[in-house]
Amino acid sequence: MLNARRSSIFPVALATAFAAVTLLALVAFPSTGFAQDGSLPSSGPPTGSYNEDEAQGIDRMLMCPVCPAESIDQAQVELARQMQQKVRELLAEGYTRQEVLDYFEERYGPKVLAAPPKTGAHIWAWVLPIGSVLLGTGAGLVILRSMKRPSAARQTVQEQGDEDLQPYLEEVDRGLAFDDPATAAGSSPPPEEPNG
């Protein structure tokens, strides 16, 4: 009977010991409790003041170096979180938006910027789309304008065509009896007599 009682107490004692060790670990090491919430427990908020809207705007202007086509405000990797924290630290130290962007461009290169710089060879990324739209609009307007009004060359060809067709048109009119004075007066031509 004693052995049966020991075997039923053993799982309860083991579960109690496990719970005690887990609780002790959470109390002794509180940073492990923050591992899943996305915060950075080791580095607190910046000590200076900064505008959070400005920080979020800069987050959208910086691309994550390890995530394809994601800004650091979208990326879920640790590097993006560290970059967000650094943005806030720099703003708290008094950096301007451009100085923060320059800071990250120096460390990660121009590809870290969401918008390409407006200098050097990167200027083509800004000029070509705008130039293409303007060129296409201009070409469309020229084509529409040329279709709207007849050109002098077309009028000359049309007049020459009318002069060349005039003898044929007169022949058709005679065949249809449009030149007959009786038809012009509104009376019908005399009926033909049957041959008989």
pLDDT tens, residue by residue, 105-144: 999 988 898 887 777 777 787 788 898 999 999 999 998 8
Distance of CA 64 to the CA centre of its chain: 18
Task: Report the distance separating Cα 80 and Cα 100, nearest Å.
Answer: 15
Contact 122, 116 (CB under 8 A): yes
34 φ, ψ (degrees, to nearest 5): -95, 5
More confident residue, 49 or 121: 49
Contact 182, 189 (CB under 8 A): yes
Q: What is the mean pLDDT of residues 40-60?
A: 75
Assign 31 to helix, strand or coil.
Answer: helix
Side-chain-side CA neighbours of 175 within 13 Å: the count stands at 6
CA distances, 171 to each of 20, 57, 175 (Å) = 118, 82, 6
Residue 74 DSSP code: T
Contact 67, 108 (CB under 8 A): no
Task: Report the distance separating Cα 16 and Cα 100, nearest Å.
Answer: 52
Q: Who's near 61: CB < 8 A, 6+ residues apart?
A: 71, 101, 113, 114, 115
Instruction: Tell me the whole-structure pTM to 2 decimals.
Output: 0.43
Q: Which of 75-84, 108-117, 138-147, 184-193 has the lowest mean pLDDT?
A: 184-193
